[in-house]
Amino acid sequence: MSESKTCVELPILDISQPLQQSSLSSLAEACKTWGFFLISNHGISRDVYSRIYMLSHQLFSLSSDTKLQLGPSSFSKTYIPHFIASPFFESLRVDGPNYFESAQTSADILFDQQSSEFR
């Protein structure tokens, strides 16, 4: 019995070049079909990427009760738990116009103003 594998090419958005209409069409299709895409040549160093990954892991490893302090029933409503939007992911959003202040407020609530890592 032979097993056939389908190879899917994830769209890549190279931001080192000016965006073309064809890139935007490909990006829109990727968002509709897959919900994500790969960004290349973004200039983010491996060190910064590793730090963001570590902090994200720390954030989403908090207990559900802690994260729900920012959940749908809270004043800020910035944390979206599993099964609200999707069974596969949870998210924490920041709002403008002052994104830093929004993120700082969430960090202060989640970490009781004790974590210097999120500052």
Determine the pLDDT at residue 66. Answer: 92
SS3 (DSSP) at 5: coil
Q: Which residues of 16-28 are buried (b: 16+ CB within 10 A; e: fewer)?
A: eeeeeeebeeebe
Identify which has the larger pLDDT, 56 or 5: 56
Residue type, 108: D
Determine the pLDDT at residue 23. Answer: 74
Model confidence at 119, pLDDT cuts 50, 70, 90, reads low
